Chains A and B, each alone.
Chain A
Amino acid sequence: MMNPEDPGPDTSPDAGMDDRQIPEPERRGERLAGLLILGLAVLNFPLLSIFSLNALFCGIPVLYLYLFSVWSLIIGAVAFVLRSSPGSSPPESDRKRSHEP
């Protein structure tokens, strides 16, 4: 989505050709895949069994609290990774597509 002519965020004078950052969309994909793997790990055996206690924390069951906290964190992380970057072009397809019958 980034315009290739856009200068990258790193515009310091000594940033040589080889130090340039990998284009944003690629990193985004890697981060999302990383989140998926992390999510699969923290929401499965054996990590879950650690929190599978018959106990309350601040009046709320520990497992229930753990699951919903992890859940919120994953949602927050996805929102963070997918936030619109300032350099991305406006979605040109928006207007075009909405007129399709």
Chain B
Amino acid sequence: MSHNILQHWIILLVSFGYLGMLFALAYYGDKRADAGRSIISNPYVYTFSIAVYCTGWTFYGSVGRAAATGVGFLPIYLGPTLAATVWWLFLRKIIRLSKINHITSIADFISSRYGKSSEIGGLVTLISVVGIMPYIALQLKAISASFNVLFYYHRDKAGELSLGNDTALYVALILAVFSILFGTRHIDVTERHEGMVAAIAFESIVKLLAFSAAGVFVVFSLFDGPADLFGQVARMPEASGLMGMDPSPGGYASWFALTFISMTAIIFLPRQFQVLVVENVNEEHVRTASWLFPLYLLLINVFVLPIAMAGIVLFQAGSIDADMFVLALPLETGKEVLALFVFIGGLSAATGMVIVESIALSTMLCNNLLMPVLLRFKLLHSDNMGRTLLSIRRWSIVLILFLGYLYFRLIGESYALVTMGLVSFTAAAQFAPSILLGIYWKGASRRGALAGLAGGFAVWIYTLLLPSFARSGWIPMSFIEPGPFGIPMLGPYHLLNLTGFDPITHAVFWSMLCNIGLLVCVSLFGRQKALEQLQAAMFVDVYKKRASDADDARLWHGKTRVSDLKGLVARMIGPKQAEMAFNAYAEQHALELPNDALANESLVAFAERELARTVGAASARVMISSIIEGEALSIEGLMKILDETSQVIEYSHRLELKSRELEAATRELKRTNERLKELDLLKDEFVSTVSHELRTPLTSIRAFSEILQDSTDMAPQQREQLLSIVVKETERLTRLVNEMLDFTKIESGAYQWAHDDLDLVGAVNEAMAATSLLSQKKNIQVTGEVPDSPVLVTGDKDRLIQVVINLLSNAIKYCEADSGRVRLQLSHAGREARLEVIDNGPGIMPDEHERIFEKFHQLPDISRGKPKGTGLGLAICKTIIENHNGRIWVESEPGKGSRFIFTLPLKTD
């Protein structure tokens, strides 16, 4: 006994010294926070504080699990790694929501989402307290077992059992005191505990270093590197199976179930919610934590399997509990300082968990379970409720640790560490559906959440909690096998005869089915109250629209005085703090707040938020409504807010539509404007051409008429000649005016088209006859080639003749006198009639081919530079042909004559 340096008092001294140092660190952290210079406001402290996830379970239990199932311990750490990949998406949203609503715990969060319901807050608290009980028991077991191993390893092991239980009680008491010191020192109870965060971040570093030190020692000192260690294991037939997957039934299903529940546990365990969300200083820290925290997990797990295997190789099977390998290996080889360091690491892991968990749970117990009850039965009369609150929280911590101890006394001996932890994980997973659906689906309702949580919790109790009582002897073992009342179908490990799963996987499946199913179904078939709808919209759309103070304000309808409000807040957070808060509010809004004035709606909302920081949203609402006269919650105000929100969305939607329409209209207008400008230009040219055309004949008519008037003695022959010129010029005028009239008539759409069957051959012959005079005058030969059989089309005969006349007269007009040749061809071309007018005139430039068919467009005469027509002839032709469903175009090259072609569909029978 004397050769052992690890005396009782040394271990105790080091342990208390370490805890004292933590407390000093926490104290320093709080002081800095009060001074406004936070030491935890950086992503690394945030990450290390999340590592409170690694508890006595990780430190001792993982090794035990690895010794039994190989890599089976890993899903608990792979799950959080996978969850962390999308923290940036949904954890940030939860943090944002919690900051806006001054959320103090996970129970507060869920109750806030579902209409600040105190029933939900209470249920979540109940699930947490009962569900976490095994987890706290696990820590107590880890600490007391490690203490016993450290102390009794080389001593007489007979006394272990009797003292072991006592150790756990002492540990529970000491931890209760420390948790109270860490978490409930302040009078002004708020949701943040900077000092505690600093302390657990430090603990996370200590446990990582301690475990890694043990790992390095085992792998490189006891063995000759990993290859040596694994090589020895490979030669042991009973251990080499650990290198593959868990050989137990449903191995992969269990792997998946563990991954799933640890994905949810990393956020929805009350202590994880506390450090990840409530204690978060800045959303941006999530960016670093998303990869640094998984890296921490990886590092602390690297040596788990090697240590487990080393234990299997070095110890006789069953001589040492595999959960304690990490401590037993250094002790076995006489490295007692290292063993002490490892013990401190394990102590860090377990105490960190217990401190944060009990603080988080006590906040929930106080705000969400006890306060609503006390408020409802009007049991709170103290002037300074802050003190009452603090003592409630302190006693809650004692209660929580006592429950943990109780569970340990009952169950502790029969369960391995990890199995106890998994029971708690499954309980925490029950929160996932109501939170995740709650922040992405507005339809999730209060009743749905209540039903889902209650259903999932009930299944959990039946399939995991009651069987553990059965094992402890409280309930007969026949409850598990074959099942209650001897009915196998009701067996908690094989409900409805579902077999092939281990108990945890089985419980996860049934509880999740029940939880999600009830949440979704009840939500789908129920109706939400107005406040629920408002909270749901706010939670889901937090990034789109931030609820303004004005929104909250309109919810309060009744009357109260400023002094009453201030008094209420003062009772919760202390008179001095309340005075400061109200003064700050008055200053910010540039208001005077005389005590006897009526409080306006926004001041009431402000007071509610101040209270929510301390007692949670649900209790704050109850408290405010207790001092407001008249109807507390204004339904009209609520409906207005909801209405406005939907109206704003509607307006913005319509506005978008309008602006798109406007854009289209603008484009259309621009195009039209371009076209109009072009037409305007053409019109100007046309007017000048027409006036020129009109003036020329008018001038000559006038000139010749004057000559005739003045020269009475003119020879009759000469007089005859002059008169014929006047007649010809008048004819030209008439033609011009007729063309213009025709065109405007057709263009305006007023013209009545005839639909007669007609023979194009006849029309062509008429047109040729009509232009024969013109061609004879210029001595131009016009030849026509028409088929013998009739070419029948449907249309307006006069107009079609006009088209042919226009084309022929154009051709004649542009041909040189005497040498000009014009040829007309009419033919069948498939289902169309095709007419060509070919001349040997000057030809047309290719870029003019399209434009000559436009209105008012005139072809500059190549030889004389003066336009010859009105600019309407071809435009009229085009309009007529297109009205007959035909096409008209020109083929021409300068100097090689032109070929005008049109086609018309043949008459169908």
A residues apposed to B, CB below 8 Å: 28-29, 32-33, 35-36, 39-40, 43-45, 48-49, 52-56, 58-64, 67-68, 71-72, 74-76, 78-79, 82, 84, 91, 93-94, 97-101
Contact of B244 among A35, A40, A53, A94 (CB under 8 A): A53
Contact B84 A78 (CB under 8 A): yes
Contact B284 A93 (CB under 8 A): yes
Contact B227 A44 (CB under 8 A): no
Contact of A68 among B36, B284, B302 (CB under 8 A): B302
Interface-facing stretch out of B286-294, B421-429, B746-754: B286-294
Cα–Cα, bound, A62→B234 (Å)? 12
Given A75-B81, A78-B291, A84-B287, verify A60-B89 contact (CB < 8 Å): no
Given A48-B252, A97-B99, verify A63-B245 contact (CB < 8 Å): yes
Contact B259 A93 (CB under 8 A): no
Q: Which of B646-703 contact A (CB under 8 A)?
A: none
Contact A101 B291 (CB under 8 A): no
B638 at the A/B interface (Cβ < 8 Å)?
Answer: no
Q: Which of chain B's residues has its CB closest to A58's CB?
A: B227
B240 at the A/B interface (Cβ < 8 Å)?
Answer: yes
Q: Mark B699-710, 1 if CB is under 8 A from A, else 0.
A: 000000000000
B784 at the A/B interface (Cβ < 8 Å)?
Answer: no
Contact B82 A43 (CB under 8 A): yes
Contact of A91 among B241, B245, B284, B295 (CB under 8 A): B284
- When distances are taken between beta carbons in the complex, the residues of chain A under 8 Å from B245 are 48-49, 52, 63
18 CB-based A-B contacts, threshold 8 Å: A35-B85, A39-B85, A43-B78, A45-B255, A49-B245, A56-B227, A61-B243, A63-B245, A71-B81, A74-B82, A75-B295, A76-B291, A78-B84, A82-B291, A84-B287, A94-B281, A94-B284, A98-B36
Interface of B is mostly: helix
Max count, chain B CB within 10 A of own CB: residue among A58, A62, A91, A98? A98
The interface size bin for chain B is 35 or more
Q: Which of chain B's residues has its CB closest to A90's CB?
A: B284
Instruction: Given contacts A32-B86, A49-B245, list 11 more A-B pairs with CB under 8 A.
Output: A32-B88, A54-B240, A58-B227, A59-B226, A71-B298, A78-B85, A94-B282, A98-B36, A98-B41, A101-B188, A101-B190
Contact B287 A82 (CB under 8 A): yes
Contact of B243 among A45, A54, A72 (CB under 8 A): A54
Q: Which of B183-213 contact A (CB under 8 A)?
A: 188, 190, 192
Contact of B256 among A32, A39, A44, A76 (CB under 8 A): A44
Contact B230 A74 (CB under 8 A): no
Contact of A78 among B36, B70, B294 (CB under 8 A): B294
Q: Which of chain B's residues has its CB closest to A38's CB?
A: B85
Contact A75 B252 (CB under 8 A): no
Given A39-B85, A94-B282, A97-B99, verify A67-B71 contact (CB < 8 Å): yes
- When distances are taken between beta carbons in the complex, the residues of chain B under 8 Å from A32 are 85-86, 88-89
- When distances are taken between beta carbons in the complex, the residues of chain B under 8 Å from A39 are 81-82, 85
- When distances are taken between beta carbons in the complex, the residues of chain B under 8 Å from A55 are 243
B6 at the A/B interface (Cβ < 8 Å)?
Answer: no
- When distances are taken between beta carbons in the complex, the residues of chain B under 8 Å from A62 are 243
Contact B281 A45 (CB under 8 A): no
Q: Which of B152-197 contact A (CB under 8 A)?
A: 188, 190, 192
Q: A64: shortest Cβ distance to chain B, in Å? A: 6
Interface of A is mostly: helix
Cα–Cα, bound, A48→B74 (Å)? 13
Q: Which of chain A's residues has its CB closest to B74's CB?
A: A67
B472 at the A/B interface (Cβ < 8 Å)?
Answer: no
Contact of B82 among A28, A36, A68, A76 (CB under 8 A): A36
Q: B122: shortest Cβ distance to chain A, in Å? A: 27
The 9 closest A-B CB pairs, nearest first, are A59-B227, A45-B252, A79-B291, A61-B243, A52-B245, A91-B284, A52-B244, A78-B291, A98-B41
Given A43-B259, A45-B255, A97-B99, verify A33-B281 contact (CB < 8 Å): no
Contact of B227 among A40, A60, A75, A78 (CB under 8 A): A60
Cα–Cα, bound, A14→B756 (Å)? 59
- When distances are taken between beta carbons in the complex, the residues of chain A under 8 Å from B302 are 68
Contact A64 B243 (CB under 8 A): yes
B231 at the A/B interface (Cβ < 8 Å)?
Answer: yes
Given A45-B252, A48-B245, A75-B81, verify A82-B259 contact (CB < 8 Å): no
Contact B230 A61 (CB under 8 A): yes
B876 at the A/B interface (Cβ < 8 Å)?
Answer: no
Q: B500: shortest Cβ distance to chain A, in Å? A: 14
B305 at the A/B interface (Cβ < 8 Å)?
Answer: yes
- When distances are taken between beta carbons in the complex, the residues of chain B under 8 Å from A33 are 86, 89
B38 at the A/B interface (Cβ < 8 Å)?
Answer: yes
B336 at the A/B interface (Cβ < 8 Å)?
Answer: no
- When distances are taken between beta carbons in the complex, the residues of chain B under 8 Å from A99 are 36
Q: Which of chain A's residues has its CB closest to B34's CB?
A: A101
Q: Which of chain A's residues has its CB closest to B298's CB?
A: A71
Q: Which of chain A's residues has its CB closest to B284's CB?
A: A91
Cα–Cα, bound, A91→B285 (Å)? 10
Contact A64 B71 (CB under 8 A): yes
- When distances are taken between beta carbons in the complex, the residues of chain A under 8 Å from B192 are 100-101
Given A32-B86, A35-B85, A75-B298, verify A98-B240 contact (CB < 8 Å): no
- When distances are taken between beta carbons in the complex, the residues of chain A under 8 Å from B82 are 36, 39-40, 43, 74
- When distances are taken between beta carbons in the complex, the residues of chain B under 8 Å from A74 are 81-82, 85, 294
Cα–Cα, bound, A72→B295 (Å)? 8
Contact of B290 among A59, A67, A78 (CB under 8 A): A78
Cα–Cα, bound, A35→B86 (Å)? 8
B759 at the A/B interface (Cβ < 8 Å)?
Answer: no
- When distances are taken between beta carbons in the complex, the residues of chain A under 8 Å from B190 are 101
Q: B77: shortest Cβ distance to chain A, in Å? A: 8
- When distances are taken between beta carbons in the complex, the residues of chain B under 8 Å from A58 are 227
Q: Mark B207-249, 1 if CB is under 8 A from A, else 0.
A: 0000000000000000001111011001000001101110000
Contact A56 B234 (CB under 8 A): yes
Contact of B282 among A54, A61, A98, A101 (CB under 8 A): A98
- When distances are taken between beta carbons in the complex, the residues of chain A under 8 Å from B234 are 56
B283 at the A/B interface (Cβ < 8 Å)?
Answer: yes
Contact A56 B298 (CB under 8 A): no
Contact A45 B256 (CB under 8 A): yes
Q: A8: shortest Cβ distance to chain B, in Å? A: 21
Cα–Cα, bound, A54→B244 (Å)? 6
- When distances are taken between beta carbons in the complex, the residues of chain B under 8 Å from A78 are 84-85, 290-291, 294
- When distances are taken between beta carbons in the complex, the residues of chain A under 8 Å from B99 are 97
